[in-house]
Each structure stands twice: as structure tokens, then as C-alpha cells.
């Protein structure tokens, strides 16, 4: 409980993840590849009307080991460029029971080669400032554009920073040849309602490009 509070409330610690193409029995999730099998019969939760989505990544929830956090992004880049900030951010974030990767590739992102997300490493939030990472869970966000208006409404409505996915931490082997960074060599910031012993209502707060 104290570790949870330090990471998510006191903001003194962070959990950092990297990605690798190598197989590992200690993987904490994956980026690229197929969506979790949980979504095989839940197409209606992935797509919105005529807007289709690609699977981006799944991460085992560090404080709920039977759960995963999965992220989906619209297949229309202009759609999520235009809708890049709460309450109109079009990136989808879903918490769900842990399942293996699906055999169905119908929502696989064509620009990403599957990589495994490493077992997490804890460090002080201060130390994380100068470290490269794919995912930072807890602590304080490392912003590409340090502007209050991105998070002001989120804070007013009781949301707190939960994690970020940072494209600076992409391995060189993650992007297919001639593919673009999904977030313009930027970062995606996920927020949630955080209490002393629980995390609820995960949402995509905003994303920024460099």
C-alpha cells in the first residue's frame, strides 16, 4: 500500500518500462502486434461508427496483476490530430482482464513490429527525468510541451496523471520501414481517478508531438 501511495499520490517514485524484440517470460505486455484475445468478440468496443482503430499496446497493470491496460488509436491520423485533448481525445484506453495476444490481426497497426514490454524497474521520479523509457507509470509526467491548458480541465474534474507512453523510448526496430511515428515523435498521457488504494476511470488525457 505504501508503495502504491508513493508512486501514484506522493509522486516520489516511478515505474519505467522499455521494449525489446526478444522473447521473455517476464514480459509485462507488448506494443504492436495483435490486440489481446479479450477483444476478439468485442469489435463494438474498439470501433466508433465509421471510425476504425488500430491496436497500439497492452500493459499488465502493475497494481492489478489480473488486469491489463490496452490502448487503441484511430487509423485516421487526422482524426486524432484534431481530437488530441480531453474531453475530446479520440485515443481509447481500456482496462480489462488479462489475456494472451489474439491470433486475429484485424486491428494490428501496419506501421509497428511487435515488441515485448520489459519487466518494470522502479526509480525515484527525479531519476526518471534523464532516463529513456517507453512507458512511465506514476510519478509526474515528462511533458513534450509544458503547457498547463493540456491538463487543467483534467485536474478540475478529479483526474490525475497515471502513465505516459513516450516515443523517445522506441527501439530502432519497432517501426516498419518508411512508417511514421504514430504520435509525431511525441508522447501520450493517460489519466485516471486515483484514490489511496484504487485506480479507476482510465482515459486518454492528451497527446503531444515534438
User: Could you give the CA distance from residue 191 to residue 180 in angstroms, rounded to a whole number?
Assistant: 25
| pLDDT at residue 8, rounded to an integer | 84
pLDDT > 70 fraction of the chain, expressed in percent and rounded: 98
Region 13-36 average pLDDT: 90
pLDDT in tens, 98-133: 999 999 999 999 999 999 999 888 999 999 988 999
Domain boundaries, the chain: 2-208
Q: Which residue has the cell 477483444?
A: 39
User: How many angstroms separate the Cα of 27 from the Cα of each of 15, 135, 173?
Assistant: 14, 13, 17
SS (H, E, C) the chain: CHHHHHHHCCCCEEEEECEECCCCCCCCEEECCCCEHHHCCCHHHHCECCECEEEEEEEECCCCCCEEEEEEEECCHHHHHHCCECCCCCCEEEEEECCCECCCCCCECCCECCEEECCCEEEEHHHHCCCCCCEEECCCCCCCCCCHHHCHHHHHCCCEEEEEEEHHHCCCCCECCCCCCCCCCCEEEEEEEECCCCEEEEEEEEEECC
Task: List the single range of 40-44, 56-60, 90-94 with lowest mean pLDDT.
Answer: 40-44
**Conformational region of residue 81, where left means phi above 0, alpha means psi within -120 to 50, and beta covers everything else:** alpha
pLDDT in tens, 88-101: 999 999 999 999 99
Q: Is 2 a residue whose pLDDT tops 90?
A: no
User: How many angstroms separate the Cα of 67 from the Cα of each of 60, 94, 128, 151?
Assistant: 6, 10, 25, 26
Radius of gyration of the chain (CA): 16
Region 171-195 average pLDDT: 96
Nearest to 56 by CA among 205, 203, 165: 165
Q: Could you tell me the fold of the domain covering 2-208?
A: Hypothetical protein YwqG fold (2.30.320)
Cell numbers describing residue 178 = 518508411
pTM over the 0.85 mark: yes
Amino acid at each position: 500500500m505504501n508503495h502504491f501511495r508513493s508512486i501514484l499520490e506522493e509522486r516520489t517514485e516511478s515505474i519505467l518500462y522499455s521494449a525489446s524484440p526478444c522473447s521473455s517470460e517476464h514480459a509485462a505486455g507488448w506494443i504492436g502486434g495483435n490486440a489481446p484475445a479479450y477483444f476478439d468478440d468485442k469489435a463494438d468496443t474498439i470501433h466508433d461508427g465509421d471510425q476504425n482503430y488500430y491496436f497500439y499496446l497492452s500493459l499488465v497493470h502493475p497494481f492489478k496483476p489480473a488486469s491489463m491496460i490496452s490502448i487503441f488509436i484511430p487509423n485516421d491520423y487526422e482524426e486524432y490530430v484534431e481530437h488530441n485533448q480531453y474531453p475530446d481525445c479520440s485515443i481509447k484506453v481500456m482496462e480489462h482482464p488479462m489475456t494472451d495476444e489474439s491470433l486475429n490481426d484485424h486491428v494490428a497497426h501496419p506501421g509497428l513490429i511487435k515488441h515485448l514490454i520489459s519487466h518494470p524497474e522502479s526509480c525515484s521520479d527525479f531519476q526518471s527525468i534523464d532516463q529513456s523509457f517507453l512507458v512511465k507509470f506514476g510519478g509526474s509526467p515528462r511533458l513534450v510541451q509544458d503547457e498547463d491548458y493540456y491538463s487543467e480541465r483534467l485536474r478540475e474534474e478529479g483526474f490525475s496523471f497515471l502513465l505516459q507512453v513516450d516515443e523517445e523510448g522506441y527501439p530502432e526496430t519497432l517501426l516498419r520501414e518508411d512508417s511514421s511515428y504514430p504520435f509525431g515523435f511525441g508522447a501520450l498521457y493517460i489519466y485516471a481517478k486515483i484514490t489511496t488504494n484504487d485506480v479507476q476511470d482510465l482515459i486518454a488525457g492528451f497527446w503531444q508531438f515534438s
